Amino acid sequence: MNKEVYNLPDAQLVFYPNFFETNEANKFFKYLEKNIPWQHDQIKVFGKIYDQPRLTALYATNNKPYSYSNITMYPHVFEGELLKIKEKIEKVSQLEFTTCLLNLYRNGKDSNGWHADDEKELGKFPQIASVSFGVTRKFKMRRKDHHKEKFELNLSHGSLLLMLGKTQAFWQHQIPKTKKEINERINLTFRIIE
């Protein structure tokens, strides 16, 4: 399996571009698109209410809610194919995840703004595994204290990105909008809520 390691200043990324082979990735994409109870939340940014520019769902091994951008999400219990994906990434990452936030980007207008996954409940140095299915989207990173320091990757169908070490403490990431006419993408970010 191809493995790319990126040691950025205060961030460690490990990327497996073909973690799932194409047939398996196709099967997971179809399953998730159809079976996940996708929800469309509203977020509050500087006091104004907006539709979140993507659909989401939360799964966990416990019943601990997860809060970000003024949203509190309550988890479903891991089951079926999602549990298989979780087990496979736990084996390679040597981590045990409690929680998975799923994102469905319906087209190029859907996006995920600059943020770090650094909520208190994720601990001091959150370790995150991010699985992508569907169309390739650009994943951009920038240092929190120096926005000119940047990095980017294309997150392709069936890929796995591990964001390790101090990544969330020192860097932000985003999925920018694109003007291209593109199809759906599903992303799963596995996290550990202590």
Ligand X SMILES: O=C(O)CCC(=O)C(=O)O
Q: Buried b / exposed e across 46-64, counting CB within 10 Å, b at 16+?
A: eeeeeebbbbbbbbbbeee
Q: Single out the residue of 98, 99, 172, 187 in contact with ligand X (rule: CB under 6 A).
A: 187
Half-sphere exposure of 3 (CA within 13 A, CB side): 7
Which residues, 44 to 103, sit near Fe ion by CB under 5 A? none
The contact pattern for ligand X, residues 80-109, with x = CB under 6 A and - = no contact, is ---------------------x-x------
Residue closer to ligand X, measured from CB, 130 or 156: 130
Contact 48/104 with Cβ under 8 angstroms? no
117 binds Fe ion per the rule CB under 5 A? yes
Contact 34/26 with Cβ under 8 angstroms? no
The contact pattern for ligand X, residues 162-181, with x = CB under 6 A and - = no contact, is -----------x-x------
Nearest-approach distance from CB 81 to ligand X, in angstroms:
19
Nearest-approach distance from CB 181 to Fe ion, in angstroms:
25
For residue 45, the surrounding DSSP H or E stretch is: strand 42-45
Q: List 103's β-bridge partners, or say none.
A: 56, 187
| Residues binding ligand X (CB under 6 A) | 101, 103, 112, 117, 130, 139, 155, 173, 175, 187, 189
